[in-house]
C-alpha cells in the first residue's frame, strides 16, 4: 500500500469540520491539488470503507482462532486434565492479547493515524520505533510476571494435581516468548494505523499456516517428534511469533513499506502519544479479562468438568474476536484519521455505522448457538457433564453477543477519538457483575446458571452505558 500524498493530507487537515476533499477550494488550492483524487479515508461511503479495512484482519484473525480451536481439539484427546489445564491458561493468554492488541496496540494505531491525518509522516515513523521499544518492555513484564506468579494464579482459578502441573508448564513456555508476541502485535498495529491492513494480514496468515502444521505434530508426537502434550501448543505459538516478527521487520525495513522502521531518538511526547490512550485502554482490557477470569473461577467452584465445559463453550467467544477486532481497528483508524483532518461528523458516523453493522452480525450467530449448542460443543467432548455446562453457558450468554459488539465497537471508536472514559466505566460495571457471580458461587449462594445470568446482565449494562456515553460526549477539540 503506497503512502498518501502528504500535500493532500495537509489540505485535508486545513478543512473545516465536516468538509471533505471534494469541497470546492478553487481560490485557495493549486490546480494540481484540486485534480488529485479524494482520499477514501476522508470521503465516500463508510460501510464499504470499513469492510475493506476490516476484512483482511477478520480473515486472518479467524485463522488464528482456527489454530486455537485446532489446538483445543488435539489437546482434548489427551483427557479432561489437559482440557482443564489449557482452560486455566486461556484467560491469561487473552489478557496479553487484549492488552497488546486492544490496549497498547490501539494507542499505537490512533497515534500514527492522527499523525498521518495531519500529514506528519516523519512523526508517524518515529512513533513506530517507539512502538517497538514498548513491545520489548511490555513483553518482558509478562514473561517475568507469569514465571513468578503463574502457579499461584492457576491454583486460585481451581487448578490442582495434573491439571495444575500441565497448566504451569504450558504457561512457562508460552509466556517465555512474550517479547516476540508483543513486538509483532505493536508493529502490526503501527501499519494498521496507516491503513495498511494487507501486509499484517499476510504475515499472520503465513504464521498460522505454519502453526497448523507444527502444533498438532508437537502436541500428539507426529512424524517422529516428541509428544509434548499441552506444552507442544506453547512451543508452536512461540515459533510462529518468531517467524511472523522476522517477516514483519524485514518488510518494514524495506522500501516497499508505507511506514519505514528505523532507529529514532526516544521522545517523551511520543511515548505519551501512545500511552496516553494505550494505558487507560490496557486497564480497560485488563478489566475485561478479569471479568473472564472471574467467570472461570466461578465455574471452578463446581469442579473440573465445569471448568472444561465452560472452557469449551467460552472458546466460541473467541470466534467473536476476529470480527470485533477487525471492524474495531478499522473504525479506530477511520475515526482517528478523520479527526486528525478535522472531520468530526464523519468520524462519529463511522463509529455508529460500524457498531450497528457488527451488532447485527454477531447477534445472529449468538441466537443460532443458543438454540443449537451442540453445533459447537459436539466437536470437543462427549462427556455429559462437560456438555451440560457448555450448553448452559451458550443458552444464557450467547444471545447477548450483539450487545457485546455494541460495547466493544464503541470502545474502539473511543480510542480513535481519545475518549475512553465511558467505555472504561462500562467495562468496570461488567466486571462488577462477573465478580458478583464468582462471590455468590464460591459461597454457595448461586448456582452455575445464576452465575451465567449475572454475566449476561453485565453485558447488557455495559452496552447501555456505552451507548449513553457515545451520545453525550463531544468529539470536538478539548478546551
Residues 6+ apart with CB under 8 A from 133: 266
Q: Which residues of 365-386 are buried (b: 16+ CB within 10 A; e: fewer)?
A: bbeebbeebeebbeebbebebb
Decide: 321 and 65 in contact? Cβ < 8 Å. yes
Decide: 355 and 406 in contact? Cβ < 8 Å. yes
Q: What pLDDT sits at residue 300?
A: 65
Q: What pLDDT sits at residue 187?
A: 94
Q: What pLDDT sits at residue 107?
A: 86
d(CA 463, CA 338): 25
d(CA 184, CA 176): 15
Q: What pLDDT sits at residue 27?
A: 38
Q: What pLDDT sits at residue 391?
A: 82
Q: What pLDDT sits at residue 325?
A: 83
Kindly report, residue by residue over 201-236, the tens digit of the pLDDT: 888 888 878 887 887 788 777 777 777 777 787 888
Q: What pLDDT sits at residue 3?
A: 40
In which residue ranges of the chain is pLDDT below 50?
A: 1-37, 479
d(CA 332, CA 113): 9
pTM score, whole prediction? 0.69
Amino acid at each position: 500500500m503506497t503512502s498518501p500524498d502528504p500535500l493532500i493530507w495537509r489540505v485535508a487537515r486545513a478543512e473545516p469540520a465536516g468538509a471533505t476533499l471534494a469541497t470546492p477550494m478553487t481560490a485557495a488550492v493549486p490546480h494540481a491539488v484540486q485534480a488529485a483524487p479524494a482520499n477514501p479515508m476522508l470521503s465516500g461511503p463508510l460501510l464499504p470503507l470499513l469492510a475493506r479495512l476490516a476484512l483482511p484482519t477478520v480473515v486472518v484473525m479467524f485463522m488464528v482462532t482456527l489454530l486455537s480451536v485446532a489446538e483445543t481439539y488435539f489437546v482434548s484427546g489427551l483427557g479432561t486434565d489437559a482440557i482443564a489445564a489449557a482452560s486455566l491458561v486461556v484467560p491469561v493468554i487473552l489478557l496479553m492479547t487484549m492488552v497488546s492488541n486492544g490496549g497498547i496496540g490501539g494507542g499505537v494505531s490512533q497515534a500514527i493515524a492522527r499523525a498521518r491525518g495531519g500529514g506528519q509522516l516523519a512523526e508517524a515513523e518515529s512513533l513506530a520505533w517507539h512502538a517497538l521499544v514498548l513491545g520489548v518492555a511490555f513483553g518482558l513484564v509478562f514473561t517475568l510476571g507469569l514465571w513468578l506468579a503463574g502457579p499461584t494464579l492457576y491454583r486460585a482459578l481451581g487448578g490442582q494435581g495434573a491439571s495444575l502441573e500441565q497448566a504451569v508448564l504450558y504457561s512457562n513456555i508460552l509466556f517465555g516468548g512474550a517479547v516476540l508476541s508483543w513486538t509483532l502485535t505493536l508493529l502490526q498495529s503501527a501499519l494498521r494505523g496507516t491503513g495498511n491492513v494487507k501486509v499484517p494480514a499476510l504475515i499472520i496468515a503465513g504464521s498460522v499456516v505454519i502453526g497448523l502444521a507444527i502444533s498438532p505434530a508437537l502436541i500428539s508426537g507426529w512424524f517422529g517428534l516428541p509428544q509434548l502434550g499441552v506444552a507442544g501448543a506453547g512451543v508452536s505459538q512461540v515459533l510462529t511469533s518468531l517467524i511472523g516478527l522476522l517477516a514483519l521487520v524485514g518488510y518494514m525495513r524495506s522500501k516497499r513499506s508505507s511506514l519505514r522502521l528505523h532507529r529514532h531518538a526516544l521522545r517523551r511526547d511520543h511515548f505519551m502519544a501512545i500511552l496516553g490512550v494505550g494505558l487507560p485502554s490496557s486497564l480497560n482490557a485488563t478489566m475485561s479479562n478479569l471479568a473472564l477470569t472471574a467467570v472461570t473461577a466461578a465455574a471452578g467452584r463446581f469442579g473440573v468438568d465445569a471448568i472444561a465445559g465452560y472452557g469449551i463453550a467460552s472458546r466460541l467467544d473467541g470466534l467473536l474476536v476476529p470480527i470485533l477486532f477487525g471492524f474495531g481497528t478499522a473504525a479506530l483508524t477511520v475515526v482517528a484519521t478523520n479527526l486528525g483532518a478535522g472531520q468530526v461528523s464523519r468520524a462519529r458516523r463511522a463509529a455508529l455505522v460500524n457498531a450497528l453493522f457488527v451488532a447485527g452480525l454477531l447477534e445472529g450467530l449468538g441466537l443460532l448457538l443458543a438454540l443449537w449448542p451442540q453445533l459447537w460443543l459436539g466437536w470437543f467432548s462427549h462427556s455429559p457433564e462437560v456438555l451440560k455446562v457448555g450448553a448452559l453457558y451458550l443458552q444464557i450468554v450467547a444471545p447477548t453477543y450483539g450487545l457485546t459488539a455494541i460495547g466493544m465497537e464503541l470502545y474502539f471508536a473511543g480510542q480513535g477519538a481519545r475518549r475512553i472514559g465511558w467505555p472504561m466505566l462500562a467495562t468496570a460495571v461488567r466486571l462488577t457483575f462477573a465478580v458478583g457471580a464468582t462471590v455468590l458461587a464460591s459461597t454457595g449462594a448461586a448456582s452455575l446458571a445464576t452465575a451465567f445470568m449475572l454475566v449476561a446482565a453485565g453485558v447488557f449494562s455495559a452496552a447501555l452505558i456505552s451507548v449513553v456515553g457515545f451520545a453525550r460526549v463531544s468529539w470536538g477539540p478539548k478546551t
